[in-house]
Amino acid sequence: QDVTLRLAHWLPPQHAVPQTGMQEWMDSITEASGGTITFEVFPAQQLGAAPDHYDMTRDGIADIGYVNPGYTAGRFPIYELTGVPFLATDGPNAAKAIHEWYAGDFAAKEMGDVHFCLVNPHEPGRFHGKSEIKVPADVKGLNVRPAHSTMARFVASLGGASVQVPAPEAREALARGTADAVTFPYEAMKIFNVAEETKFHNDMPLYLSSQVLLFNNDSYGGLSAEQKAVIDEHCTPEWSKKFSEGWADYDKGVREEILNDPEHTVYMPSDEEVALWREAAMPTLEAWKEDVSAAGGDPEAILEGLRAALDANGVLYK
């Protein structure tokens, strides 16, 4: 039977993700299903607020939801590891690694009331500031718009304060002095015009913000066997990588533009400075470990699992 699936996300329709990976993924499913699976996309929070996309998917408001688990601090303690600094050095291969690491038991434990499909991180995000941020001490006293709850914690451990505004309002917050710096991938410099305000960029790859694509259980369960097979073929670690490539390419393009723009300063910390940053990130990892322990998980084993998967895909931060 023919089905049309409602896919809800919160990005603007012209963003790289809906334009590249998401579109490619939908087209491929429609083709592989012989046209029996089509999609109706609801961008820009049309069906609900960004942090609600998990619940909306579980509750059937959307058949498929594009979810950032980092928007709801404390709800997915295992998955929050993906946002801890200094784990992965690129986006698409990390997508595959995170998928391999999370999709089995962990997804069943934390996201058991939905059908897990794939993982979509951006290229590693960095600090971008109105003033120089070369070493961890430079963050002290700054107001930073962090990417997610884990980065908020990192900023706090450095003596900064976090300012929470939605991504599209980050530029405004910088312009008004509410924020002095942001953590973002390079692409946000362009899509949200953040580069108008932040002329200093610390080029050290720092952290990921990793979205997941989830199916409503009934929506998935209601498909025919053939259709399910098509979806299963599109919910693989390989598709996680493929889904994430367009975003990464766009990000690299924006980075080149900023590198070549004389208005901007792009700073790459020395090895000694990177060591300072990595040491400064340890409390954030420790805090994550405590959260997972409190939630009944084994943090060392979980961490080793992700590190091994990243290493196997050649993107472990060493």
Partner 1 sequence: MSERDLIAAGGFVILFLLMLIRVPIGIAMGIVGVGGFGMVTGLKPALNLLATSPLRTVTDFNLTLIPFFVLMGVLATRSGMSRELFRAANATLGSFRGGLGIATVGACAGFAAICGSSVATAATMTDIAYPEMKRAGYGDDVATGVIAAGGTLGILIPPSVVLAVYGYITEQDIGSLFIAGIVPGLLAVLMYMLTVRLRYGPYLPAGAPFELREALRALRDVWAVALLFIAVILSIYLGIATATEAAAVGAVLTAVIGLARGRLGAASLLDCLVGALRTSVAIYTILIGAILFGYFLAVTQVPQNMTRMLIELGLGRYGTLVLIMVLFVVLGCFLDAMAMIILMVPIVFPVITQLGFDPIWFGIIIVMTVELGLITPPIGMNVFVINSIARHVGLGTIFRGVLPFVLVDLLRLAILILVPGLVLFLPNSM
Partner 2 sequence: MTGQRHTAADRVILWVERTAAVMLGLVTLLIFVSAVGRYLFAAPLPDSFDISRLTLAIAVIWGFASLGYRGSHIKVDILAQAVSPALRRWLDLVAWAILLGFTGLLVWKMGARVLSQLSGGEVTMDLRLPHWPFLAAILLGLIAALFTTALRLWRIWRFGEGLEGHEVPPEEDGPDMGHPKVEKNE
Query: Considering only CA atoms, which of 166, 134, 141 is closest in space to residue 155?
Result: 141
Provide CB contacts within 8 A for 228, sequence distance 6+.
Answer: 220
Three-state DSSP at 265 gives strand
Exposure string for 283-312, b = 16+ CB within 10 A, e = fewer:
ebbebbbebbeeeebebeebbebbbebbee
In the complex, which residues of this chain contact partner 2 (CB under 8 A)?
Answer: 55, 72-75, 141, 143, 149, 152, 156, 161-164, 178, 295
Contact pick of 29, 47, 64, 223 for partner 1 (by CB under 8 A): 47
Nearer to partner 2, 71 or 116 (CB): 71
The tally of CA atoms less than 13 A away on the side-chain side of residue 306 is: 21
- Considering beta carbons, is residue 42 or 79 the nearer one to partner 1? 42
Q: Does 257 bind partner 1 (CB under 8 A)?
A: no
Within residues 147-206, the interface with partner 1 by CB under 8 A covers: 164, 168, 172-173, 175-178
Helices 92-102 and 299-312: angle between axes, nearest 10 degrees? 140
Query: Which helix (H) or strand (E) segment is 144 a member of?
Result: strand 143-145
Residue 143 interface partner, choices partner 1, partner 2, none, CB cut-off 5-8 Å depending on type: partner 2
Partner interacting with residue 162 (select from partner 2, partner 1, none; CB below 5-8 Å by kind): partner 2
Bridge partners of 216, per DSSP, are 114
Binding partner of residue 131 among partner 2, partner 1, none, CB cut-off 5 to 8 Å per kind? none
* 162 vs 183, beta carbon nearer partner 2: 162
Min dist CB 77 to partner 2, Å, is 9
In this structure, what are the phi and psi dihedrals at residue 140, rounded to the nearest 5 degrees? -55, 130
Of the candidate spans 56-64, 101-109, 118-126, 285-293, the one that interacts with partner 1 by CB under 8 A turns out to be 56-64
What is the binding site for partner 1 (CB under 8 A)? 6, 42, 46-49, 51-52, 55-56, 59-61, 164, 168, 172-173, 175-178
